[in-house]
Amino acid sequence: MKAAVFREIGREPSKLLKIEDIETPKIKPNEVLVRIESAAYNYDDLWALYGYPIKVPMPHISGSDAAGTVMEVGEDVTKFQTGDRVVIHPNLSCRVCNACNSGREYDCDDRLVWGYQTGPLWGGFSQYTHMPDTNLVKIPDNLSFKEAAAIAMVGMTSWHMLVGRAKIQPRQTVLVMGGASGIGMAAIQIAKIFNCTVIATAGSKEKIEKCYSLGADFVVNHRLDDWDRKIREITKRAGIDVVIEHIGKTHFPIEIRLLRKGGTLVSTGATTGYDSTIDLRYLFFKGINILGSTQGTKAELEEVVYWTSKGKIKPLIDTILPFGHVAKGLEMMKNGSHFGKILLAPQKI
């Protein structure tokens, strides 16, 4: 089979990433062989190439978002059969520790993000992959492989932030920072499923319009100096119930101040830097909650697949690349020259 492989770290995808012929995986009794029909790019694919913030197993195949067709099942597999259409849950965990048995597989000490921390040569940017049957979710016939790959990671992460961590309730006011990002686009739509008022932020006219098209009730340009004042005007100074945060250093302290008493901020990233500060008086006087969040559970991925199949969550796809142009997708991620998910078609060279 063919796979996109890099054997050393660096900052130039086109020089480091090569399509190679490698052996098709041989599955274990509890595993399934999946022919990958569509894979989606994430920032961890760039981080893997950079060797930051962690070094990855070498030689490396990236790709944590993928959907495809079951081609072979191990002798112990009973819930899947050849021909099933599946999307991959990329959170590999032990399934037997206290965290896993409590429904918190994302807190497992042995957790690995498939396609990022796994290998050598085990990720989604390949024509075939092997996965434990516990890491597969069936997708309905009305959901395409492209849609499933495009929504899996960002949808699951956003669902976990809003529902799993923040416990959102109808009629709450939700502030989605970076509403035009993958996380943001999914979060807007999930919050509307729960009948929340959504205020999104975006940094350009085009992105502002896209946030409105996804269902945001209000959109504010977070690049303006007075962006927080505009949000206070929208809420009539009542404050925000839930903030979805992944921007980091530049906006984090202001987001804290925007929360109402008892409000919650959920963080899953720090694009502009991680060394932020907060005024602790807001923490104890207003009784606010600051929660961390990473990935999500298989059950949460199943919820996202369900709501996407019902048309309540719509994946946004920017570009679909043939396998031979795999490096171009990383260059687009690097330059931010895309709007929506970038997909890879491993079966089309």
The 10s digit of each residue's pLDDT in 86-131 is 999 999 999 999 999 999 999 999 999 999 999 999 999 999 999 9
DSSP 73-141: E-TT--S--TT-EEEE--EE--SSSHHHHTT-GGG-TT-EETTTT--SS-SSSBSEEEEEGGGEEE--T
CATH number where 85 lies: 3.90.180.10
Task: Examine the pLDDT at 263 and tell me if it is beyond 90.
Answer: yes
Give the mean model confidence (pLDDT) for residues 64-78.
98
Are residues 285 and 223 part of one domain? yes
Q: Which residue has the higher pLDDT, 69 or 269?
A: 69
Are residues 167 and 134 part of one domain? no
Are residues 198 and 97 part of one domain? no
- Mean pLDDT of all residues belonging to the chain: 95
CATH number where 175 lies: 3.40.50.720
Are residues 6 and 129 part of one domain? yes
- pLDDT-derived band at 52 (thresholds 50, 70, 90) equals confident
Looking at the structure of the chain, the number of domains it has is 2
- Answer whether residue 8 is part of any domain: yes
Q: Which of 246, 186, 195, 196 is nearest to 222 (CA)?
A: 246
- Answer whether residue 236 is part of any domain: yes
DSSP-assigned letter for residue 28: P
The helix (H) or strand (E) run that includes residue 191 is helix 182-193
- pLDDT-derived band at 53 (thresholds 50, 70, 90) equals confident
Are residues 63 and 163 part of one domain? no
Q: Which of 74, 286, 268 is nearest to 161 (CA)?
A: 268
- Answer whether residue 301 is part of any domain: no
Q: Residue 45's Cα: distance from chain center in Å?
A: 12
Question: Which structural domain range is residue 219 located in?
Answer: 157-292
The helix (H) or strand (E) run that includes residue 20 is strand 18-21
Are residues 126 and 169 part of one domain? no
- Answer whether residue 308 is part of any domain: no
Are residues 281 and 208 part of one domain? yes
- Answer whether residue 89 is part of any domain: yes
Compute the distance between CA of residue 146 and CA of residue 341 in angstroms, rounded to an integer. Answer: 10
Q: What is the largest CA-CA distance in the chain?
A: 61
pLDDT of 75: 98
Task: Examine the pLDDT at 237 and tell me if it is beyond 90.
Answer: yes
Are residues 176 and 78 part of one domain? no
Are residues 174 and 81 part of one domain? no
Are residues 330 and 270 part of one domain? no
Are residues 254 and 216 part of one domain? yes
- Answer whether residue 13 is part of any domain: yes
- Answer whether residue 331 is part of any domain: yes
Are residues 125 and 174 part of one domain? no
- 3-class SS string, 280-324: HHHHHHCCCEEEECCCCCHHHHHHHHHHHHCCCCCCCEEEEEEHH
Lowest mean pLDDT among 30-44, 155-169, 242-256, 309-323: 242-256
- Answer whether residue 336 is part of any domain: yes
pLDDT of 46: 94
